Structure 1
Amino acid sequence: MPGAMEGVRVLDLTTMVAGPVATMMLADQGAEVIKVESPHGDLMRHFSRGRNGMNAAFLSCNRNKRSLAVDLKSADGLEILKRLIATAQVFVHNFRPGIAERMGLGEEIVRAIRRDIVYVSITGYGTKGPYANQRAYDPVIQAMSGLADIQRDRDTGRPRMVRTIIADYTTALTAAQAITAALFARERTGGGQHVRISMLDAMISYLWPEAMPSLTFVGDETDPSDGEVGPDLVFATQDRYITAAALSDDEWAGMCRALNRQELIDDLRFKTARDRSVNAVERRTITSAELEKWRADEILPRLLANDVPSAPVVSRFELLHDKQVSENHILEEFDSEQFGKVRMPRPAALFDRTPAKIRALAPRLGADNAAILAELGYDADDITRLESNKVVHNSVKKESAGG
Structure 2
Amino acid sequence: MSGIFSELRVIELSADVTGSMAGQICADRAAEVIKIEPPGGDVLRHVDSYDSGESKLYESLNRGKQSVVLDYDQSDGLKLVKALCDTADVVIASQPKRPLPSELSYETLKIQNSKLVYLDINAFGRNGNWADSASNDLVMQAYAGNMLSEGKTEPDQITPRAIVSTQMSEYVTAFYALLGISSALYHRARTGVGQEVSTSKLLTMLSIQSARIVTNDLADKKVIGFRNRLLELRTEGASLAKIKSERGKTAPRVINAFYRPYQTRDGAVFVGALTRNLRDKARGALNTTLLGRDDPNYDTRNDEYYDNALRQQAEIEAYLKEKTTEEWIGILEASGVPTGEITFPEDLYNSEQLLENSYIAELDHTSGRQIHVMPHAQFSAFPDPEITAAPSLGRDTTRILSEIEND
Pairwise same-fold verdict (TM > 0.5): yes
1:322-337 aligned at under 5 Å gives the runs 322-336=351-365
1:161-207 Cα offsets, whole Å, 9 max, x none, are 22221111111111111111111111112111111111000111012
1:322-361 aligned at under 5 Å gives the runs 322-336=351-365, 338-355=366-383, 357-361=385-389
Closer/same/farther in 2, CA of residues 158 and 67 from structure 1, 3 Å limit: same
Q: Distance in 2 between matches of 1:311 and 1:105?
A: 48
Q: Distance in 2 between matches of 1:230 and 1:42?
A: 47
- Offset of residue 54 of structure 1: 2.0
Closer/same/farther in 2, CA of residues 51 and 276 from structure 1, 3 Å limit: farther
1:271-350 aligned at under 5 Å gives the runs 286-287=312-313, 289-294=315-320, 295=323, 296-336=325-365, 338-350=366-378
Partner residue, 2:168: 166
SS at match of 1:143: helix
| TM-score of the pair, normalised by structure 2 | 0.82
Q: Distance in 1 between matches of 2:299 and 2:354?
A: 33
* Runs (5+) with no aligned partner, structure 2: 224-246
Contact 1:236-1:288 at 8 Å conserved across structures:
no
Bigger mean CA deviation after superposition, 246-255 or 292-301: 292-301
1:15-72 Cα offsets, whole Å, 9 max, x none, are 1201100110011011111001111221101122325742111000111111111111
Partner residue, 2:242: none
Indicate yes or no: 2:271 matched with 1:244. yes
- Offset of residue 2 of structure 1: 1.2
Contact 2:41-2:393 at 8 Å conserved across structures:
yes
1:2-401 aligned at under 5 Å gives the runs 2-51=2-51, 53-95=53-95, 99-100=99-100, 102-153=101-152, 156-162=157-163, 163-209=165-211, 212=212, 215-217=214-216, 221=220, 222-223=222-223, 226=251, 233-261=260-288, 263-264=289-290, 267=291, 269-270=293-294, 286-287=312-313, 289-294=315-320, 295=323, 296-336=325-365, 338-355=366-383, 357-378=385-406
Instruction: Point out which structure has higher relative CO (alpha carbons under 8 A, 6+ apart).
Output: 1
SS at match of 1:139: helix
SS at match of 1:104: helix
- Offset of residue 268 of structure 1: 8.3
Contact 1:270-1:276 at 8 Å conserved across structures:
no
* Runs (5+) with no aligned partner, structure 1: 380-403
Closer/same/farther in 2, CA of residues 145 and 368 from structure 1, 3 Å limit: same
SS at match of 1:376: helix
Partner residue, 2:237: none
Q: Percent identity?
A: 29
Contact 2:117-2:197 at 8 Å conserved across structures:
yes
Closer/same/farther in 2, CA of residues 243 and 278 from structure 1, 3 Å limit: farther
Q: Distance in 1 between matches of 2:312 and 2:34?
A: 55
Closer/same/farther in 2, CA of residues 125 and 285 from structure 1, 3 Å limit: farther
Closer/same/farther in 2, CA of residues 177 and 268 from structure 1, 3 Å limit: closer
Q: Distance in 2 between matches of 1:308 and 1:287?
A: 18
- Offset of residue 235 of structure 1: 1.9
Contact 1:97-1:123 at 8 Å conserved across structures:
no
- Offset of residue 378 of structure 1: 5.0
Partner residue, 1:389: none
- Offset of residue 220 of structure 1: 5.8
Contact 1:346-1:358 at 8 Å conserved across structures:
no
Q: Distance in 2 between matches of 1:63 and 1:120?
A: 20
- Aligned-partner residue type, residue 340 of structure 1: G
Contact 1:85-1:113 at 8 Å conserved across structures:
no
Closer/same/farther in 2, CA of residues 218 and 189 from structure 1, 3 Å limit: farther
Q: Distance in 1 between matches of 2:52 and 2:386?
A: 20
| TM-score of the pair, normalised by structure 1 | 0.83
- Offset of residue 237 of structure 1: 3.0
Q: Distance in 1 between matches of 2:94 and 2:292?
A: 53
Partner residue, 2:236: none
- Aligned-partner residue type, residue 399 of structure 2: A
Q: Distance in 2 between matches of 1:284 and 1:170?
A: 36
Bigger mean CA deviation after superposition, 312-321 or 47-56: 47-56
